[in-house]
Amino acid sequence: MSRAESHLLLAVSLCVFLALSPCALASGNGNGKPLVTAITKDAATSLYTVPIKDGHPLVLDLSGALVWTACDASHPTLECHHHFCMHAHSYHPPDCPHNGYGRADVEDPFRCKCTAHPYNPFSGESATADLTRTRLSANATDGKNPLYPVSFTAVTSCAPDSLLAKLPAGAVGVAGLARTRLALQAQVARSQKVANKFALCLPSGGDGMAIFGGGPLFLIPPGRPDVTANLDGETPLHRNKDLPGYFISATKIAVNQEQVHLYSQEPLVVELSSRIPYTMLRPDVYRAVIDAFDMATAGRKRVTPPVAPFELCYDSRELGSTRLGYAVPQIDLVLERGKNWTVFGGNSMAQVSDNTACLALVKMKGEKGNPPAVVIGGFQMENNLVVFDDEKARLGFSGLLWGRQTTCSNFNFTLAA
């Protein structure tokens, strides 16, 4: 972050600190306006959270089918015949037996109380717990500022406290964002009467932001065009029969604008995941990309041995920099319909210590069945606006915002006057 950017950030955080909320919490609906929330990156886990449960954070999970949180001992429970109970059972966590839709009520054995299977992707554990309703809150937005707080009721799963293990400190659950009826954005769409889509702008530091229900989005400094109307590219979203997350298709990968030779000529299945810090590549794809990058950086000063889990590390004092990050070869994922998701230095090189930066790609391990060729992780999405549009089955992306002299931490979180 440049000095000017950090000053701006400081100014914005001061404004937020000094602003007194003039509005009572508006209830029910935001009058068809999208909702905005801040995104924080947890340093210990590299997970991203949003403070939407009474101000407490939920972890964002692009592959999560449900929203789940710890519940009070007394909470309402949906009945088994409710259509949301059926939706809660449309995806099952791995290794979780399908044992019906619920449990008999202790007081009334003729009543069936709906249970769901919240899943903690970071510990790999799942549980069986009641399907309930919870108040969540965020601010309505015009795309420039938060306007006023809105709270709405969402159908969520309870979870035993033990399921919170391995989440960032303070997190009270997980906000699933997958392509399901009970994912957070689908519930915002229904309660606020907005489009079933959302845009994520993951921060590398400071507060990033998510907008649920569509654009526009204006980042500071003022006077810039709407980012959502000026995306670098768009590509179709595909469904995977077993997983509810986001899948796109790539035809090839290029390093330094030269095509990487891959064993398989099949289109590459690419998933986007907020569960992993760095992009993972299937072993055959990993080898080919690492070798190509190694060749393309042959003259650069290496740091050996490299810093695990990475394989190519460089003396960052000698890499040179551009406004898109370190001056290293770009990596292009050539997507279906011809657009490129281009990874520049800002999203490819992780600074692991003062003088060392490494190519932030890792090899997939223990993959079962038919894994995606590429799983794009958090670091590679940072400071890019990524638009997930379930209704139109389209994924849009801005490319690295540094190229537009802005970052994901440049949303003006001061409540509009």
Is 404 within 8 Å of 385 (Cβ atoms)? no
Q: Which stretch binds ligand NAG (CB under 6 A): 131-139, 199-207, 242-250, 292-300?
A: 131-139
Near ligand NAG by CB under 6 A: residue from 13, 45, 145, 322: 145
| CB hemisphere CA count around 76 (13 angstroms) | 10
DSSP 79: B
Q: Which is nearer to ligand NAG, 63 or 279 (CB)?
A: 279
State in angstroms the smallest separation of the CB of 365 from ligand NAG: 28
Q: How far apart are CA 55 and CA 390, in angstroms?
A: 27
- Could you say whether residue 415 binds ligand NAG (CB under 6 A)? yes
Q: Which stretch binds ligand NAG (CB under 6 A): 74-82, 84-92, 143-151, 373-381?
A: 143-151
Is 339 within 8 Å of 232 (Cβ atoms)? yes
DSSP 404: G
Q: How far apart are CA 220 and CA 16, in angstroms?
A: 15
- 3-class DSSP assignment, residue 85: helix
Is 415 within 8 Å of 139 (Cβ atoms)? yes
- Could you say whether residue 58 binds ligand NAG (CB under 6 A)? no
- Could you say whether residue 34 binds ligand NAG (CB under 6 A)? no
State in angstroms the smallest separation of the CB of 350 from ligand NAG: 22
- Could you say whether residue 416 binds ligand NAG (CB under 6 A)? yes
| CB hemisphere CA count around 256 (13 angstroms) | 13
State in angstroms the smallest separation of the CB of 150 from ligand NAG: 7
Q: How far apart are CA 317 and CA 294, in angstroms?
A: 18
Q: Which is nearer to ligand NAG, 25 or 86 (CB)?
A: 25
- Could you say whether residue 167 binds ligand NAG (CB under 6 A)? no
Beta strands per DSSP E along 95-230: 102-104, 112-116, 119-120, 125-126, 129-141, 146-157, 173-176, 197-201, 208-212
- Could you say whether residue 332 binds ligand NAG (CB under 6 A)? yes
Phi and psi dihedrals of 57, rounded to 5? -80, 145
Near ligand NAG by CB under 6 A: residue from 137, 187, 191, 235: 137
Near ligand NAG by CB under 6 A: residue from 254, 357, 361, 374: 254
Q: Which stretch binds ligand NAG (CB under 6 A): 168-176, 208-216, 267-275, 407-415?
A: 407-415
Q: Which stretch binds ligand NAG (CB under 6 A): 69-77, 134-142, 181-189, 389-397?
A: 134-142
- Could you say whether residue 334 binds ligand NAG (CB under 6 A)? yes
- Could you say whether residue 343 binds ligand NAG (CB under 6 A)? no
Q: How far apart are CA 375 and CA 398, in angstroms?
A: 19
Q: What is the dihedral of CA 129, 132, 138, 142, to 10 degrees?
A: 120
- Could you say whether residue 153 binds ligand NAG (CB under 6 A)? no
Is 414 within 8 Å of 16 (Cβ atoms)? yes
Q: Which stretch binds ligand NAG (CB under 6 A): 114-122, 142-150, 172-180, 265-273?
A: 142-150
Is 223 within 8 Å of 62 (Cβ atoms)? no
Question: Can you give the binding site for ligand NAG, defined by CB under 6 A?
Answer: 16, 19, 37, 137-139, 145-146, 149, 220, 222, 254, 257, 332, 334, 338, 340, 412-417
